[in-house]
Amino acid sequence: MMDFEEIIEEKKPIYGKWAILSFCVFFSPIFGGFMLRQNLKEKGEVKMGWAILFLSFGLACITAALATTTFRGPGTTFVANLLEGAFLVEFVFKKYFPNEEAYPKKSVTKPLAISFFVVTLALLLVAASGVPLPTQ
């Protein structure tokens, strides 16, 4: 009798849904979109990863447009980013990673460092251009 070994596919590490949601809320949906794109790329869903990245750019544009309306206030951007991040996590992430617990988690150290660098660079460029930053 021949013994057959069970082949278990090793799953690649992904960013967790709480990490993606946190980056959407505290930075921008673009940052969460990049992380979700990386997850989808690791899973082999490259086209969907690009679609999600472009969707996250669109969501960030909605937030920027909302900040110029009469609805702007202290929490407008925060609430908009929370809702947009929740959309990415609850619909897209759950659809492609329904068993998130089965995947090992990636560290958020590298995306966090990149995010701080990008935001700092953007603020320095705005400050150097002489454009006053709007208050909310």
- For residue 5, pLDDT over 60 is answered with no
Which residue range(s) make up the domain with 110? 17-129
What is the token pair recorded at 135?
Answer: 């208050």
Residue 32 and residue 13: Cα distance in Å, rounded? 16
Between the CA atoms of 108, 109, 111 and 113, what dihedral angle is there, to the nearest 10 degrees?
Answer: 150
pTM of the model: 0.81
Residue 120 lies in a domain: yes
Domains held by the chain: number: 1
pLDDT tens figures, 60-72 = 898 888 878 877 7
Residue 54 lies in a domain: yes
Residue 134 lies in a domain: no
Position 136 scores a pLDDT of: 56
Residue 10 lies in a domain: no
Residue 69 lies in a domain: yes
Residue 130 vs residue 92, higher pLDDT = 92
Residue 7 lies in a domain: no
Residue 135 lies in a domain: no
Across the chain, mean pLDDT equals 86
Between the CA atoms of 90, 61, 23 and 71, what dihedral angle is there, to the nearest 10 degrees?
Answer: -90
pLDDT tens figures, 55-113 = 999 988 988 888 788 777 778 888 889 999 999 999 999 999 988 888 999 999 999 99
Q: How far is CA 75 from the centre of its chain?
A: 19
